[in-house]
Structure 1
């Protein structure tokens, strides 16, 4: 602001000075035009009355600065210096005499014109008192007004900056509360504004959501792992302690090792499921726009499992829509989704197992149905939770994480997982089109958006 006000004041001062000097120069030019014909070759003035009628002080000077003639209250000493005379050359020059600050007693603005052929000079001068007084008054007013404007601008600017940065201070206080351990807090961002600060607030809130989700996933993983791994580890410890209480034969040791192998296998499967589910949740924000043909994945996946002889899957019927049926899933996620559904049907259901892929213009539905006993109606709403298992299913292999992983994959692709058994459906009111087929005892349907 100081630089701006100084520049503005200098411009105003220069324009006023230019206007005042132009008026004086106009008078000097007029007087010079009147006096020049009156000066004789020897420097004398023939008609002094006509010369004095111009109303301005005048002098005729020799090249050495001595005064030949003068009039109208011109001082006895030369109005200009020999240097000014030399500066005029063969033409004319305008010079100011007397100090501006502090004020001189007799300031003049003079026009020096060289006369031929003897190089005498005609000096015409006008007092600058009024001009200098006006400029000094203007300078004083500019200094006072500029200082006042600077003070006002500084105060207003400080207030405006404080008001503009007030949201940042609120963000800082709220961030301090969040850093202190308070969860669920978000920055207070006005909804009716759209500027740099509010956009920063929205970005920070999204960042906090991402961090909180990551922390929640880690916390949930640790809780799930500590809860679910405690039992098999306790069983392993108990079996080892029992085996060491007395001497055993080779056959008895082999039986104990077989029991330990079962427990270790279940423990490894549980850890694998937990790591798979956690890694999939962490990878979801990357949001790669991958697609795959779900119909081809279903056909190839079932054929591969049958050829590999995966636990005698039994009769599996595959009905896939003709042509490519593309969904927003990676090939690995599609295979993982199908594999978990087939594993559930194998472990908890009965053959025949039917895999069906049907499509509309907007949606693709993957159904895996079996002829097993299904699950109780009260469990349908919680079946996709982690470690959710029916009482009679706890004696069978599995960890209760399969449907949780399937639901996570489906929701990440913008789809919906539906469970139907004995006329009971979850969700009761589907959010997406395409009702699930519940002709079998248990049907799990995956509804995904179709990619053109």
Structure 2
């Protein structure tokens, strides 16, 4: 491998890959275990009775001196041969240990490459996946309990979630562009029609200006809704103690002038203390009531309730109206989703309940939505209790 700019000239930089580290680990483990086995074997050989020395006895007492000399000579030769055999055993065992360590390193390199092959495959496939082909998957083969297959399956699940998120983002951008383009096109058409009329008088131009202002206000409401949705999805960074009953009371007071006279409003606002962002929760209750007003027909009713059940503060909005299929309820919380049947005084852009869902998620609240007793929707938002809220904050900030 050529030297890099940060290395001295001619110096080869070793790439400490996982395969190399595993190979060194295998070789080191084999060398240590082989050296321990060699040491134990050598000690056993040295301590064996056959290596303790040769005992020579004689029964000829008349030549005692000569016999002692012969015995000493034989013992010396035997001890020398024994030591030589021990050195030979130690040398040959060391050579064998070195050769086997080298072979184990080579085998370790092959085994590590085979074990890490799925990782290389996952890496190559992951490099080829981008925002344009998130539908592709690693699809790692192997048994269900294999750790590398579990890693690949986990990555595939992550890709599936990213694919869904990217697709939802693309739909959101397309819908938002359409919603923003529609009033601009209408505003431009109204002005162009007025300018192309030669006999346009002050009254006509004034009506056109009023119409253009109304369209501009509609655009402002849409942009404000989009900004609220974006800020809600980014989370709540500053909370304060509040009461859902006070929030609902303030929102009801603001909506009273715009509430249709032929829709009955029932309230039951018991104290429901919690913590959160007051502006966002005001928007949440406003959107709940606004959605109920849009889809409540003439002669219908809206019921608003705040209470605490088992220490859990809740806000509930129920309205009468057309029966909504159960399978369509979940889609109502997606941006720009509208029902086909609205009341005569309905307006909006299909962002109300999606903003409600984003604000509730930012406050770690649970939304329960069912069909109303007389059509319409029954929406209950349960905010977490104190200890649950603290755990949610810890998870969000990364605290232990």
> Under TM normalisation by the shorter chain, which class is it?
0.5 to 0.7
Mapped pair 1:361 → 2:310: yes
Q: Is the 8 A contact 2:144 2:150 kept in 1?
A: no
> Is the helix fraction higher in 1 or 2?
2
Q: Secondary structure at the match of 1:128?
A: helix
Sort the Cα spacing of 1:298 and 1:217 in 2 relative to 1 into closer, same or farther, 3 A: farther
Sort the Cα spacing of 1:180 and 1:325 in 2 relative to 1 into closer, same or farther, 3 A: closer
Sort the Cα spacing of 1:139 and 1:375 in 2 relative to 1 into closer, same or farther, 3 A: same
Partner of 1:101: none
Q: Is the 8 A contact 1:340 1:402 kept in 2?
A: yes
Q: Residue 53 of structure 1 is aligned with which of 68, 83, 91?
A: 68
Q: Which has the higher contact order (CA 8 A, sep 6+)?
A: 2
Partner of 1:39: none
Distance (whole Å) between structure 2 residues aligned to residue 301 and residue 223 of structure 1: 34
Sort the Cα spacing of 1:199 and 1:292 in 2 relative to 1 into closer, same or farther, 3 A: farther
* CA deviation map 1:81-125 (0-9, x unaligned): xxxxxxxxxxxxxxxxxxxxxxxxxxx98xxxxxxxxxxxxxxx9
Gaps of 5+ in 2: 1-26, 55-62, 387-400
Bigger Rg, structure 1 or 2: 1
Partner of 1:42: none
CA RMSD of aligned residues (A): 4.7
Mapping 1:3-22, distance limit 5 Å: 3-4=31-32, 7-8=35-36, 11=39, 15=43
> Is the strand fraction higher in 1 or 2?
1
Partner of 1:255: 207
Gaps of 5+ in 1: 28-47, 58-71, 74-107, 110-124, 425-441
Q: Residue 399 of structure 1 is aligned with which of 328, 349, 353?
A: 349
Mapped pair 1:232 → 2:166: no
Distance (whole Å) between structure 2 residues aligned to residue 299 and residue 191 of structure 1: 58
Partner of 1:61: none
Q: Secondary structure at the match of 1:229?
A: helix
Mapping 1:148-297, distance limit 5 Å: 148=100, 150-151=102-103, 153-154=104-105, 156-176=107-127, 178-179=129-130, 181-188=132-139, 192-193=144-145, 197=148, 200-201=151-152, 204-205=155-156, 207-209=158-160, 211-246=162-197, 248-280=200-232, 282-283=233-234, 296-297=243-244
Deviates more, 1:241-250 or 1:227-236: 241-250
Partner of 2:285: 338
TM-score, normalised to structure 1's length?
Answer: 0.58
Q: Is the 8 A contact 1:299 1:318 kept in 2?
A: no
Distance (whole Å) between structure 1 residues aligned to residue 131 and residue 293 of structure 2: 49
Distance (whole Å) between structure 1 residues aligned to residue 372 and residue 156 of structure 2: 38
Partner of 1:446: 380
